[in-house]
């Protein structure tokens, strides 16, 4: 989601409690803790993993952020460059298939 929050205004978004959410601030600054006036500036990402409501308050400049939400896979991750699989064996197979030009079928 691409969200804009006007200067000094608050915005909230209902989420699922078991989902992970992260944002990337494109422009401005935002406070994500209603108890705090600590702001996070543009060009920063923030990961949230608890709660059922996302809340933000814009600082003295309009805030624009990208919001990503999804349920965690809860699977093992094997990462190698551009390829992500579940196991090292799957990763080796994927790179072999990439070398043999059979990776994408």
Q: Which residue has the higher pLDDT, 59 or 73?
A: 59
- The pLDDT of residue 102 is 93
Report the share of the chain in percent with pLDDT over 90.
73
Mean pLDDT of 53-60: 94
CA distance 65 to 6: 12
pLDDT(17) > 90: no
At 22-34, the pLDDT tens digits run 999 999 999 998 7
- The pLDDT of residue 49 is 77
Element (H, E) at 94: helix 88-99
Cα distances (Å, whole numbers) of residue 62 to 22, 30, 56: 19, 9, 12
For 2-70, CATH gives 2.60.120.10
CA distance 10 to 83: 39
CA distance 35 to 97: 52
How many other CB atoms are there within 10 angstroms of residue 93's CB atom? 13
């Amino acid at each position: 989601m691409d969200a804009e929050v006007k200067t000094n205004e608050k915005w909230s978004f209902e989420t699922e409690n078991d989902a992970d959410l992260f944002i990337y601030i494109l422009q401005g600054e935002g406070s994500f803790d209603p108890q705090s006036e600590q702001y996070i500036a543009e060009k920063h990402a923030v990961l949230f993993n608890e709660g059922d409501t996302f809340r933000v308050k814009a600082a003295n400049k309009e805030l624009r952020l990208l919001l990503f939400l999804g349920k965690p896979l809860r699977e093992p991750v094997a990462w190698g460059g551009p390829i992500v699989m579940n196991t090292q064996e799957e990763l080796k197979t994927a790179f072999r298939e990439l070398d043999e030009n059979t990776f994408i079928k």
